[in-house]
């Protein structure tokens, strides 16, 4: 598996949840699509597929992708969604992940975005 290393965030102000259609339900395929479009990787820390499976794409302490809003101060969670919102399986996984992240970053604001 690929392993890229990015600089660490100095602070974490936001946990950003992006619900969008990546065109695939597989993190590795999504990574390849991003590379074909000129990105170095997906830019997200986590990827949640249609079945609610969670994949880690970046180290938690790393900055998000440069194309993302507030990339120096945010954790990005990408939820693969054709409807712009999580399904029940994704919602379960997302809520569990958010609870874990809030324990680590209790002051971080959660922002929901549609792609």
As a whole number of angstroms, the distance between CA 43 and CA 39 comes to 8
As a whole number of angstroms, the distance between CA 89 and CA 30 comes to 20
Q: How many domains does the chain have?
A: 1
Residue 59's SS3 state is coil
- In the Cβ-directed half-sphere of 72, how many Cα atoms lie within 13 Å? 1
Evaluate whether residue 52 is within a structural domain.
yes
Q: Identify which has the larger pLDDT, 42 or 75.
A: 75
Q: Model pTM greater than 0.85?
A: yes
pLDDT at 3: 64
CATH of the domain at 28: 3.40.80.10
Evaluate whether residue 5 is within a structural domain.
no
Evaluate whether residue 18 is within a structural domain.
yes
Give the domain extent around 50.
14-114
Evaluate whether residue 6 is within a structural domain.
no
Is the model's pLDDT at 115 over the cut of 70?
A: no
DSSP 70-99: TTTSEEEEEEE-SSSS--HHHHHHHHHHHH
- Give the tens place of pLDDT for each residue, 81-100: 999 899 999 999 999 999 99
- Give the tens place of pLDDT for each residue, 29-69: 888 888 888 777 788 999 999 999 999 988 999 998 877 77
Evaluate whether residue 91 is within a structural domain.
yes
Place of tokens 């598996």: 1
- Give the tens place of pLDDT for each residue, 1-34: 466 678 899 999 999 999 999 888 888 888 888 8
């Amino acid at each position: 598996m690929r392993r890229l290393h990015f600089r660490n965030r100095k602070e974490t102000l936001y946990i950003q949840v992006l619900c969008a259609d990546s065109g695939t339900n597989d993190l590795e395929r999504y990574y390849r699509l991003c590379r074909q479009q000129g990105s170095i990787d997906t830019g997200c820390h986590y990827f949640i597929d249609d079945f609610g499976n969670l994949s880690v794409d970046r180290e938690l302490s790393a900055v998000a992708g440069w194309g993302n809003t507030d990339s120096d101060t945010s954790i990005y969670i990408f939820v693969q969604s054709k409807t712009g919102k999580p399904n029940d399986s994704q919602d379960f996984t997302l809520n569990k992940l958010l609870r874990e992240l809030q324990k680590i970053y209790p002051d971080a604001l959660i922002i929901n975005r549609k792609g």
